[in-house]
Structure 1
Amino acid sequence: MPSSPDDPPALAFSTDNCTVGRSMTILGERWTFVVLREVFNGIRRFEDIRRHTGIPRQVLTNRLALLVEHDILRRTPYQPAGARQRHEYRLTPKGLDLYPIMVAVAQWGDRYLADPDGPPVEFVHRDCGTPAGPVMECAAGHRIADPRDVVPVPGPGARLLGDHS
């Protein structure tokens, strides 16, 4: 398809190696962030997650397997007295890196989707108890208040359409 002078510059680049698309193949299914929410909240055992969320058993099994496969969660054995060994799910460093995203999604929901009474959960700094949230800042340390002040530019992995090198 020919390009027009009015086309956004991003149309010239391939999306074959898009990290947003790749991330969403792992995180984009409805129940995935619900499972992560439970683990972030300290609910780590299969039956507890299932009971607390109502996720169908097979869906939960699949989501947990996907998160383990991608090293977001790890299975850790435990054995209740008199019972067989089971596993609970713990965050890996890769999984813990998703926490600011979880907080950002929750805060967006709090702003636009919360009940009139307010949000069901607040995120606070453990040391001082004041509200905490994700912050955008550049590598030079400048805090960015307006999202429009951040612009996408081609990165080192960017490829022009048709470039297969």
Structure 2
Amino acid sequence: MTVLQGPLADRDAWSAIGKCPIEKTMGLVGTKSAMLIMREAFYGTTRFDDFARRVGITKAATSARLSELVDAGLLEKQPYREPGQRVRDEYVLTEAGTEFMPVVWAMFEWGRKHLGDSALRLKHLECGAQAHVEIVCDNGHVVPPDELGVALR
């Protein structure tokens, strides 16, 4: 269990509604299709039709999700032109989008472990070892759930 510290410890004296980073993040990427588009962006997908096909959603839904992710600053549009074709946009990860990767990989790891073991694994390419998502403090210590606290800054 995560420990709430200081004034946060009195759960009846404060409300996280509208202030919680989880709530705000879910407001940006809280749909299945948005998360799957981010997954595809991490896998290198950049083209509109490829997102629609690989996520399995309509072109209208793809357009809406890509626009939301661009507005949220997770993806950005970059123009490209195939020879003899009109200029189109591709969608690439921004710095904020790249920083979102651990969220998606944490969901990957949780799903792999709890929803039926998948043959898929995260892997450190340099040494070949299996990779994991962990919470690490600024001093480099891995922080287990029972040692994690939330405090006001």
TM-score range, shorter chain: 0.7 to 0.9
Gaps of 5+ in 1: 1-7, 157-165
Gaps of 5+ in 2: 1-8
Tell me the distance in 1 between the aligned counterparts of 2:127 and 2:140. 23
| 1:12 and 2:4 correspond | no
In the TM superposition, what whole-angstrom CA distance separates every residue of 1:78-136 from its partner, at most 9, and x where no partner exists? 1111111111110000000111111110000000113xxx4253221121221112111
- Aligned pairs for 1:91-110 within 5 A: 91-110=93-112
Are the counterparts in 2 of residues 78 and 86 from structure 1 also a CA contact under 8 Å?
yes
Q: Larger % of helix: which? A: 2
Task: Report the Cα offset of residue 33 of structure 1.
Answer: 0.5
**Corresponding residue for residue 70 of structure 1:** 72
TM-score normalised by L of structure 1: 0.81
**Corresponding residue for residue 125 of structure 1:** 124
**Corresponding residue for residue 136 of structure 2:** 137
Instruction: Check 1:89–1:126 CA distance in 2 against 1; reply closer, same or farther (3 A cut).
Output: same
Secondary structure in 1 aligned to 2:150? coil
In the TM superposition, what whole-angstrom CA distance separates every residue of 1:13-34 from its partner, at most 9, and x where no partner exists? 2323222211110011121100
Q: Which amino acid aligns with 2:134?
A: V
Are the counterparts in 2 of residues 76 and 89 from structure 1 also a CA contact under 8 Å?
yes
- Paired residue for 2:147, among 114, 125, 149? 149
Q: Larger % of strand: which? A: 2
Task: Report the Cα offset of residue 139 of structure 1.
Answer: 2.0
Tell me the distance in 2 between the aligned counterparts of 1:120 and 1:44. 25
Higher relative contact order (CA 8 A, sep 6+): 2
Secondary structure in 2 aligned to 1:12? coil
Secondary structure in 1 aligned to 2:50? helix
Q: Which amino acid aligns with 1:85?
A: V
Tell me the distance in 2 between the aligned counterparts of 1:126 and 1:112. 25
Tell me the distance in 2 between the aligned counterparts of 1:119 and 1:136. 23
Are the counterparts in 1 of residues 39 and 104 from structure 2 also a CA contact under 8 Å?
yes
Number of residue pairs matched by the alignment: 144
Are the counterparts in 2 of residues 100 and 133 from structure 1 also a CA contact under 8 Å?
no
Are the counterparts in 2 of residues 72 and 95 from structure 1 also a CA contact under 8 Å?
yes
Give the superposed CA RMSD. 1.5
| 1:53 and 2:52 correspond | no
Q: Which amino acid aligns with 1:135?
A: E
